[in-house]
Structure 1
Amino acid sequence: MEKRCVSEEVGSIRIPDFNEVREYVLKVYQDRISVPKGLKRKYVVIYLSKIDRVNSYLVNRVLNNLEKLSKISISKFYQEILKLAGINGYEQTLNILYRRMKVINRLWSVYRVGIKSSLDAKEARRVFREYIGRVLSIFRRSSDELDLIRSAVALLSKIPCIDDLPTIVVAGMPQTGKSTFVGNVSTAKPKVSPFPFTTKDIILGHIELDSVKVQIIDTPGILDRPLNELNPIERKAYLAIKYLADYILYFIDPLEDSYYNIENQLKLLQSIINEFGEEKIFVVINKIDSVKPERLEYVKKLVSERTNTYIYTISALKNLNTHNLIRDVVSRIRRNTV
């Protein structure tokens, strides 16, 4: 069976909230149960049926799903994405809820014995009502934890499937042509717009060349500022670089009227080199179809003063030199995986 990615595994799981549990439990309490005529102590059969229905629902819809979630390995990247969304303590919360659901499961065993030993229907009903009260009390106290897990599941299920493949992360400041490039060379179809910060999430595609399959990630633009000043959109790009990138394609817009001037773009490049090292970075000057030759040479000179890496010049829009860039990256991947 093919292994599914985190977003697929998590996306198949649904945890009910307190109101859903309450509604179901109260419905079971009110439902009429048909039993054969002449059956002795029919009240025992009725309330055993009700308590078993409640427990089966809680086991299948809550306990088993919490157990499934606890077995899904959440990498550091996913953990940081959750924290970025204000969802802290995911694994601890799962453990807390799981322990509480095990308590509820033990209550079922205890109260089932109580129903069996009831002397009349009134006592059986009282025992069942007490069981319901304790179950709903635990769920009411767990509302915040349930909401946190439900929010985490909703967020993780929306993240693209990140495979165990060599990974190229395309980074740079906004409006440098990252999304156009990723859309042209891979299976990804990112939104392209003339406005900065059009890409708000990481977008993943795949490339297969010479029997080598890699995944490529388009990231939101990053501005040149300290990590603690990055906004949530920029931090997604930073996390992708930090935790997912085997190689980084750093895109530069060389135009004189670019959204962000060349000095700011080079300062960000230097920050990325300082943090992640020069050996995994490919510097890519884009938009050569629109830049004057002398301006292009000037920008190349500025880049070469800051890094010894080879400088690629491409046009993502016109698909100029993009194939050579991808071929070189794949060749590097092949050499390093042999």
Structure 2
Amino acid sequence: MSVTPRIAIDAMGGDVGVRVMLEGAAKARYQHDRLRFLLVGDEQRIKAALDNHPNLRAASDIIHTDGVVSGEDKPSQALRKARNSSMGLAIDAVKRGDAGGAVSAGNTGALMAMAKVALRTMPGIDRPALSALMPTLGDHDCVMLDLGANTDCDANNLVQFAVMGAAYARTAMKLERPRVALLNIGTEEQKGTDEIREAAVRLRAAAHLPMEFVGFIEGDKLSRGEVDVIVHDGFSGNIALKTMEGTARFVTDLLREAFTSSLRSKIGFLISRPATELLRHRLDPNNHNGAVFLGLNGVVLKSHGSADAKGVAHAVHLCAELVEKDITRQVTEDLGNFRRGSDQ
């Protein structure tokens, strides 16, 4: 049985901080008892929270620091705090090899900047991409990238994102040949920007890679489950992500209003409760929490700042899985194969 590397937890990040981050880590530990942790933050507050989680306490070491990156800190400000902040020290633990991966619910821009400086990008990668799993109507989730790390992307960036996203899909969803598509304003070959069309030409020529490029996909098909990896620049991707999240909340709120509008509606809710519970589960963002920075020499996951303990546990599980399956090595190998195939 392989030993799961330790996961460094930025205990001070997120909207709530220590309590939720440690509750999530404890939940992950109960479900996966081989997990070990490096908890980074205010030692006194961490120890107080660990009193409620003896199982987590037995599997954890603490790195004390008073430094915290706030949600208002710009990346440049956060970088100056890297040596003394809980976020910076968690990433540094990955760099030193003291942890296999890091999870933080803190400032996304700061986390990206610190991770990029500390871990550096892989050979063959110009820019890391923020990637997450999104629910679909298909048999499994869909990988989307980039979700906001890079607002402007050229064809090289999009091709690299596609290769990394396919490796992620094979790792997280156990797919042999993930179906990859570029987000576009139409499915015809002449549609889209020069960068998107050029990326498509290069991906069609990459038949030697363990993925299937299926062309373009429009925004109304993102959740249909017809593809496994959706590639786009960070500007479009972040808008698409926020729109999907807002739509999910809109549907949930509409159902709540509809089922409480009258006595008959309340009776109808009781009858249809199994179906509505399934819908609520599918739309709950905590069941898909955890965005990974692909393209770095190490595993760093961003948990949503408002995630509850279940959401944090999901991010921790995903981090451990990517470390165990060595996503960094898989991406490196795929990039090497892509370059060799392109040179032939």
Q: Name the TM-score, length of structure 2 as normaliser.
A: 0.26
**Larger RCO (CA under 8 A, 6+ residues apart):** 2
- The two structures have a TM-score, normalised by structure 1, of 0.26
More helix by share: 1
Higher strand share: 2
